[in-house]
Amino acid sequence: MRVSRKLVAASYRPLVLSLLADGPKYGFQLVSRIQVLSDDSLHLPNSKLYPLLHSLEADGLVESYWEPSETGPSRKYYRLTAAGSKALATIKSEWKWMYEMLNSIWRGEVAYS
């Protein structure tokens, strides 16, 4: 499915935080998981991913650390902080609220005065 750039851009932050809620990941794992979950419809380029991760880190929502790799150079992993978990809970509530409101409108359940 083709999704507008604006909607995709708005979803990067909750998407990355949600993926990190499952445990620490390095950049390529995040990109790969997004592609699999979207049936290869969404591509999060490095030019968007790493500035987003740095922003999340600056906001105290994620932290990074280096781990040695068995197959090459060390990898930088990212994980949620306690503040990141709280922020994700808020983001989930906001997105669910928006989804439910739009769904009500689309189902014709909203009465207009």
**Position 61 in a domain:** yes
Domain of residue 101: give its range: 5-106
Type of residue at 80: L
**Position 113 in a domain:** no
CA–CA gap between residue 105 and residue 113 (Å, rounded): 14
What confidence tier does 113 reach under pLDDT thresholds 50, 70, 90? low
**Position 112 in a domain:** no
pLDDT at position 2 is 84
Could you give the number of structural domains in the chain? 1
53-112 pLDDT, tens per residue? 999 999 999 999 999 988 999 999 999 999 999 999 999 999 999 999 999 999 987 766
Enumerate residues 6+ apart whose C-beta is below 8 A from 68.
Answer: 74
**Position 21 in a domain:** yes
CA–CA gap between residue 31 and residue 59 (Å, rounded): 21
| Residue 63's CATH number | 1.10.10.10
